[in-house]
Amino acid sequence: MPPTRNRRGDRDKTRRPGGPRQTGRPQDMVRRTAFDVIRAVATRDAYANLLLPARLRDRGLTGRDAALATELTYGTLRGRGTYDAVLALCSDRELRRVDAPLLDVLRLGTHQILATRIPPHAAVGTAVELARTVSGPGQAKFANAVLRKVAARDMDAWLAIIAPSDADATTRLSVAHSHPKWIVSALRDALGPDRGEIDALLAADNARPRVTLVARPGRATVDELYDAGAEPSPYSPYAALLPEGDPAGIAAVREGRAAVQDEASQLVAMALAAAPLDGPDTRWADLCAGPGGKAGLLSALATERDARLLAADVQPHRAGLVARAVDDRAGIIVADGTAPAWRPGVFDRVMVDAPCTGLGALRRRPEARWRRGPEAVAELGPLQRALLAGALDSVRPGGVVAYVTCSPHLAETRVVVDDVLRARQDVERLDSPAVLTSAVPELAGLGEGPYAQFWPHRHGTDAMFLALLRRAD
């Protein structure tokens, strides 16, 4: 968990007449903002990556204060499993008996103490004042007693206690890297033969992700992004890394000519566009297009070839988001990819970015690891299979389908593809890693085929899965 800059632990406060206690220093508002987002994640199933930027704007937090609020929010959400193990040893109450808002204050305080450069006395003091604001003086005393015990050891010393080397491997990894056990097991299975990578993968899930931009071809260039302060990205010719700042501060992003998009997401769209097919190449489709990241790049690539993309999503509001991402040649409809509203075999290239557990994007959505259980994999399976079957029916003989998930879980990736293709004799698997490396020779570590799997610890991207499938003539 990356450290933040040192901050003072000021505890000046003011009270608005007739309202709740308000913190008077920017540092206090920073912590209150982080706490409010964490609570919204817990109580409203909010997404931190969507809610936090709005809260920062509403409260006028910029620069170092915005950076600290971001670190405290994401760091606390990522580290919850580790911090709960520490808190359980420092509290004389079972954690399930601690009021939920107070428990979130304790987690936030523990993150400050163990994973930032904030001095322990300041971290304890600011967390106790937040507890006083949220839960009252009595609970503040409890928070003070607990957090002082937390501050008695550093992270390494705590890990030696809560995740000892002689513990069961899955339990140790789960506690040390703050991942539920079922996710640890699923990721280990997806990595395949043990090459000692699981620790690196779990650590990568807890690292602050880079902000990656995409310059939509024909509408923006990477040079334009470089001129705005971005830096080169290793793989996609359309990608640039933003080392700091708000992406919306870049004109091309504000105008929809560029966007925030993970590099693996760009590369799977490029792979669909690059996959060899037989016959015409003018009609493309994205069957699960919302919110529009892959559709935006696909529509630009299609336009360069005088092709046209049809972007479909079953949810109207997501289809509306797609409209902001694609160019004027693209068509947008509200439609269910499992029950196509178009004639069979009408498209040359089809993207199906299937709904999944999102285990490949835990860096960006840290709360997702606590939001779902293993039952979600089974629940999503029928939809994933139906969408892939619908995509294969929608592509013409000789055309290509890309099945994509932002999850490496075997039951959401190769098992889905293998199950669907077992019932069909008219589909061949293309060598997805070969297609990707022919376009980007620097890529490696995608697997031995026919499927491609990106990894955070290998590629610095989300753990995106790709299968390229061609309908036989």
Indicate which residues carry an active-site annotation.
406
Angle ∠(169,173,177) on CA atoms, nearest 5: 175
Q: Using CA atoms, how far apart are residues 308 and 416, in angstroms rounded to an integer?
A: 28
Helices and strands (DSSP H and E) totals, the chain: 21, 14
Distances (CA, A) of 154 to 93, 122, 374, 444: 22, 15, 33, 37
Q: Using CA atoms, how far apart are residues 430 and 417, in angstroms rounded to an integer?
A: 12
361: three-class secondary structure by DSSP: helix
Q: How many residues comprise the chain?
A: 473
Q: Using CA atoms, how far apart are residues 469 and 176, in angstroms rounded to an integer?
A: 39
Q: Using CA atoms, how far apart are residues 360 and 455, in angstroms rounded to an integer?
A: 8
Residues 284 and 347 sit within 8 Å (Cβ to Cβ): yes
Structure tokens at 355: 């709904």
190: three-class secondary structure by DSSP: helix
| Contacts (Cβ under 8 Å, ≥6 apart) of 275 | 349, 400, 402, 430, 435, 468, 470
Residue 456 carries which DSSP code? H
Tell me whether residue 58 is exposed, middle or buried, using C-beta atoms within 10 angstroms of its C-beta: 0 to 12, 13 to 18, 19 or more. exposed
The DSSP result for 256-271, as a single string, is TSEEE--HHHHHHHHH
362: three-class secondary structure by DSSP: coil
